[in-house]
Amino acid sequence: MNLEDNDHQYEERKTPGGYLVKVRLSKMTYVVFTPKGPEVPKGAKNNSIIVPVPRVVFLGEDFNLSHFRLGDLSFVNVKSGKLVIPYQHGASREIKTIFLNTGSTSDILPVIVHHYNTPKEVAQLSEQNLDFHHIVADEGLQRNDMVSLKIRYPTVNILLLKKKMTTMQDPKTALPADEKGTEKPIDDNANATLRASGGNLNMQSDNPVFLSRIHLRNMELDKVKQLLFDFDLSGEDVVFIRTFLDVMIRNVNNKEELAANQDKLKTLDEIFRLSEMIIRHNETDFEIELEKGLTKEVAYMVYALLEKYQENASNIEEEIMFWEWKYRARRLM
């Protein structure tokens, strides 16, 4: 096989959902073909149909990823637009799952999974021009190591996991629940204590992700909205809150109370989806959403949130950006 033949070598996968995923092996990029033609993933730069195969690094000695061919092309399920990547961590034999955004509607997509024991190993790989997209690390990762990795891989998304999560530990550092409901439930006694304390729970805890779970279990959706204003949420906070919302939305057919609030849950999820773009200053994706238009309820919430961030902008460029977004959101109200 000559070099030209190798450059045009592909691996294809037909999915149960009727998609064709075609991976160009020399570039490690892929294109998803739908019944209507090539897919432009949501948020794709320049509306490109070509997507780099995501490389996901699990960093730490306690990960077990023996079910993957490490460093090689694999295909995993996709649910609600998120890669579903199983792994084991620590002494537990429990199969856990992490979800990573794709922007695709396909039900199966490619991924390359790596596993390294130390940050030094990952840092050295920058010389090979490998572009890592996600690093999933255990709680032993030191802050200076995290900074070093971000310098070498500026666009990488770093997720920190706990080996064991207790009731009052921060769910930001734990895993999202999967569709089978395997998330660790919040202790009912702790829940009852918080409810009995009365007043605004958002003012009595510094853990917005934990509070969102409490409010959602009580179907107090307005209090979940209020978290956006009572806390300076991080992008990771929003991802976990949306994970809880996603589980509830997908279970609407199983519970009467969820079915009755289906539209409200979807609207709330949309508000948090847009809030993540605002928090991360994701100009391209957010401006696409403004161009497509927002419902009046969502536009009102987005406007109020932009006002908050404009007031707290750290520099004039940020303030101008939020002001422009706020102006455009106001026109949709």
Each residue's pLDDT tens digit, 171-180: 333 333 333 3
> How many CA atoms, within 13 angstroms, populate the side-chain half-sphere of residue 13?
20
pLDDT digits (tens, 9 = 90+) for 61-106: 888 888 888 999 999 999 888 999 988 887 777 788 888 989 999 9
**Per-residue confidence band for 206, with pLDDT thresholds at 50, 70 and 90:** low
Q: What is the percent of the chain with per-residue pLDDT over 90, rounded to a whole number?
A: 39
Q: What pLDDT, on a 0 to 100 scale, did the predictor assign at position 172?
A: 37
Alpha carbons 307 and 316: distance in angstroms, whole number: 14
In terms of Cα–Cα distance, which of 256, 310, 317, 247 is closest to 278? 310
- What's the pLDDT score for residue 227? 92
Whole-angstrom distance, CA of residue 53 vs CA of residue 25: 10
pLDDT tier at 167, thresholds 50, 70, 90: very low
Q: How confident is the model at residue 196 (pLDDT cuts 50, 70, 90)?
A: very low
What is the mean pLDDT of the segment spanning 181-197?
A: 37
Of 134-138, 168-172, 243-247, 296-300, the range with the lowest mean pLDDT is: 168-172
Distance CA 272, CA 275 (A): 5
Strand partners, 22: 12, 31
CA distance 304 to 326: 8
Report domain extents, the chain. 3-161, 171-330
pTM above 0.85, yes or no: no
